Amino acid sequence: MLSVLLIEQVLNGLQFGLMLFLLAAGLTLVFGVMDMINLAHGSLYMVGAFLAAWLVALTGSFVLGVLGAIGLTALFGMLLEVTLLRTLYARDHLSQVLATFALILILNDGVKMVFGTDLALSAPEALAGPVELMPGLSYPAYRLLILGVGFVLAALMYALVAKTRLGALVRAGASNRVMTEAMGVPVRQLFTVVFGIGAGLCAVAGALLGPLLAVQVGMGENILILAFVVIVIGGIGSIRGALIGAILVGCIDTLGRTLLQHLFREFLPPQWASAAGPAIASIAVYMFMAVVLAVKPQGLFPART
């Protein structure tokens, strides 16, 4: 019984981790390549989720809705980069914090004005039921889809950064922007593309997690923090670090919440157990980050030295 629960939770953790990776990947690239703190990254995730919910309702098709949301969010991200964010690259981190914080306020209220405070988004009918993975282990089909999409995108991102010319340019930009520019690389366009990709990935995560976590205004803030924790653990500018960091954080968070509660219920009075479980689980992720930084102050796989 416990082992089935364990496997289930590991799968949940993996699934959450992969979605976190989608956010972290964009964030680490923007921070690593453009040296910009973008607090509004979580808002792109929210915009993606809302667009998906709206388009799915409009077209009646889950696939079309999600794909449309990804495209639109990527375009929106690039528009944002070209008009506003580009001017922040040269500014200090504090100014970037202020500006992107302002962006959060604008986007939160903006989305509310256009769509309302929340929208319904449910998993497609075909995937509503469970799948039997092993005798005794049933797992929701939709979550398996998320796992699948997550793995594929992770593999694609890795290939993109490690094997393609675009990826090489991005990595060069991450380690030395001035040099890259001096070599005649169109850095401006590169940045716009990187930002667009990041926004698109946010939309994937937002759309896929929508049915599970509820599409509502302000959903970006909580996951943004976790994304930052992931990239700090993984090492800023590193896609590999973002992936490993995200999976670790996803598992620690998920397993912490459920298993710790289980454990505590065995040993502590019930009112303590139901309170302590979530509290310790939330703290566990941050403690893990603190430990990682103590041992490896630049994260696990720092792209820059």
Partner 1 sequence: MSTTGLLSRSALLLGLISALALPWLLQALGAPFYISLAGRILVYAIAATSLNLVLGYGGMVSFGHAAFVGLGAYVTGVMISEGLLNGAAHLAATLAVTGLVALAIGAISLRTRGVYFIMITLAFAQMLFYLANSIKGYGGDEGLNIKQRSAIGFGLDLKDATTFYYLALAVLGASLVALARFVPSRLGRAVIAIRDDDQRAEALGFPALRLRLVVFVAAGMLGGVAGALAVNQQGYVSPNLLHWTQSGTLMVMVILGGVATLWGGVIGAAALLLLQEGLAAATQHWEFWTGWVLLAVVLFARNGLTGLALQAWSRMR
Residue tagged 């303590």 (tokens): 272
- CB 260, min distance to partner 1, A: 12
Other Cβ atoms closer than 10 A to 277? 21
Other Cβ atoms closer than 10 A to 210? 27
- Our finding on whether 114 is near partner 1 (CB under 8 A) is no
Among 14, 33, 34, 39, binds partner 1 (CB under 8 A): 39
Residue 18 near residue 250, CB atoms below 8 Å: yes
Give the type of residue at 196: G
- Our finding on whether 291 is near partner 1 (CB under 8 A) is no
- Per CB under 8 A, contacts with partner 1 among 70-89 are 84, 87-88
Q: Which of 135, 129, 158 is nearest to 243 (CA)?
A: 158
Among 59, 101, 152, 168, binds partner 1 (CB under 8 A): 101
Alpha helices in the chain (DSSP H): 2-34, 41-59, 62-83, 93-115, 141-163, 165-175, 177-182, 187-213, 219-234, 239-255, 261-267, 270-295
- Our finding on whether 108 is near partner 1 (CB under 8 A) is yes
- Our finding on whether 31 is near partner 1 (CB under 8 A) is yes
Q: How far apart are CA 76 and CA 44, in angstroms?
A: 9
- Our finding on whether 164 is near partner 1 (CB under 8 A) is no
- Our finding on whether 246 is near partner 1 (CB under 8 A) is no
- Our finding on whether 287 is near partner 1 (CB under 8 A) is yes
- Contact segment (CB under 8 A) with partner 1 among 17-25, 98-106, 115-123, 125-133 equals 98-106
Positive or negative, the CA dihedral 298, 299, 301, 304 is: negative
- Our finding on whether 229 is near partner 1 (CB under 8 A) is yes
* Site residues (vs partner 1, CB under 8 A): 31, 37, 39, 84, 87-88, 91, 93-95, 97-99, 101-106, 108-110, 112-113, 221, 225, 228-229, 232, 236, 271, 275-276, 278-279, 282-283, 286-287, 289-290, 293, 297-298
